[in-house]
Every structure is written in C-alpha cells, then in structure tokens.
Amino acid sequence: MRAVLLALTDELKRLKAAGVKTVSVSDESMATLRRLVAARNTGNRISETGERKPEAGKNEKLVSGPVLAESPPVYSTLRQPVSGSANLPPPPEVVLPPGDKSVRWQALRELVLNHPVCRAHVRPGKQVVFGVGSLDAKVMFVGEAPGAEEEQQGEPFVGPAGQLLTRMIKAMGLERGEVYIGNIMNWRPELPPRADGTQAGNREPTPEEMAFCLPFITAQIEVVAPALLVALGATAARGLLGAHSFKTLGEVRGRWHDYRGRPLRVTYHPSYLLRKEMDGRVAANRAKRTAWEDFLAVMERAGLSISEKQRNYFL
C-alpha cells in the first residue's frame, strides 16, 4: 500500500513536471485514497474496492506499473486541463486479465491497437504500433515514437534507425527477437499532411501525448518484466524519467537510473548516430563508441558474456 501511495506521488510529480497545473480527483477516488491511508494507519491491507486484498494472482489488476499492480485505478481518476492537450483525454486505465505473460501481453496489445484514441491518430492505411520481441527478454529497449516505416508496417524500429538498432543488438550477441522493443508513443506524431495526404517528416511527441501513452509502455514493462531497460534518446528518457528531469542527454547517460524498481540506462537514439555519419567517419565512430559503452554496461549488468572484440568495437 505504501507502494500505491508512492506511485501516486510519483505520478503527481510527473504530471507537475509535464506542466499540469491542476488535477481533479473524483469523490469516489478520494474515498478510496482515504480508505488506503486509514488502512495504512491501522495496518490493514485492502483492495481498491475497499475489501481485503485478494490472494496473489486472483482478480489481478494492472494499472500502470509494478507498484500499481493491485492498486486503485489512479490514471482513471486524474483529469488534466492542460492547454495543448485539449484533444487528448486523460491517460487511460490499463486493466489486464489474469493469466500468464502471453495472455496478458495479448490483451494489452489488443487494447492498444484498438484504442479509439490511438486509432483516431493514425491516417487511413497506417497502423498503431505496439511493442515486439520476447516476453522473456532480459533487455527492453524503449524508443520515442513510430516513423513512416513503422506506422506502415505496424512494428517499432524497422526503418533506417531500426536497422541500426538491430545491428547493435546483434553486436551484443543477441537476436532482435531475444529482446523486447517498444516505444513511448504508439502512433506517429502527426504533422500537417502534404497535398496528397501523406506526412513528410517526424516530430517529437508532446508531453501530453507521451503522458497519454505512458500507461501502455509501463504495462508492457510490467508484463515482460525485463531485468533492464534502455531508453533510446532524450525523448524516451524524458517519457520515463519525467518531462523536465534533465536538459541534455549528457546529464543522464553513462550511469544507471531507476524506473519503478528496474535499472534503466539512457543512451543515444540510433537516428542521432545515423545523423552523425554526416559529420564524417571520426565523429560518427566517436558517437557510436559512446553509445556502445552504454550497451557494454547493459551487457555486463544483464550477465551477457563480452569478448575482447566486443569490448573494442568502435575504438
């Protein structure tokens, strides 16, 4: 229950950091919170309905992350009157059926792919994009948002940046299918269309868009339960660590963070590494080496063997 209150505090801090000024809580949710606090004071453990907590595994509800697994539907009770997010409702509550990983993951996938808000943001013929990979992955990569190739194929990281990511995963000695790859956002952030209706270019997701999709990636993290998370680029890192948690990527890469109890490493987005190639081989290799050092740290922490050759890539 302490975890519930901590998660609620975390979420309120995150919303504040994202610029949210007011949060309204329904009377019903307020009553639930009061019951939880009262239960903490009396040492009782109660469920979100006010009953005693069910046995582990029964009637399990997953809301937004490990600490909310048996807690009140916090997201469903938060309202955020934020300018610029007028078209987005509050972040959705994610409720998964009981069952094994694959049942829960499949239910989550269906929920996201068919979510009316996600669907409303993809152009005709394009797709909402959900995570892919092994449900037993030790390492989960979290990117920013789908681009043109991804919304076309309905899979994260399949364009040029994705191909580089796949090569880096192979350089770790893993297959793409052995890790899990998801995004902070599940649709391609929209830009005004060309005359023919297609979209040119990509843009960063807004904090409101990221906040809306956050329950989907945190639920994937909860279901897959990887040992380690890797945020690819500043946007993904901001999505997980908070919109205003840092100014430059340099402040957060090169060390371990904690995302709801899981080690999180932040590294460069593969698109940045591709862009660096324009600056010439030396600059590109330097950036790739820096990113590779993050990958080496991930390999070490995941207990993967590292050869001398792997240690020296990009040197």
Contacts with ligand URA, residue ranges (CB under 6 A): 143-147, 150, 156-157, 159, 161-162, 183
Q: How far apart are CA 10 and CA 43, in angstroms?
A: 23
Q: How far apart are CA 49 and CA 66, in angstroms?
A: 19
Q: Which long-range contacts (CB under 8 A, 24 or more apart) does 271-279 make?
A: 271/160, 271/161, 271/233, 272/233, 273/164, 274/160, 274/161, 274/164
Q: Phi/psi at 167 (nearest 5 deg)?
A: -65, -35
Give residue number: closest CB to ligand URA.
143
User: In the complex, what is the shortest distance from the CB of residue 234 to ligand URA, in angstroms, rounded to a whole number?
Assistant: 11
Q: How far apart are CA 266 and CA 249, in angstroms?
A: 8
Q: Please, are residues 180 and 131 in contact by the beta-carbon 8 Å criterion? A: yes
| β pairing state of 180-183 and 139-143 | parallel
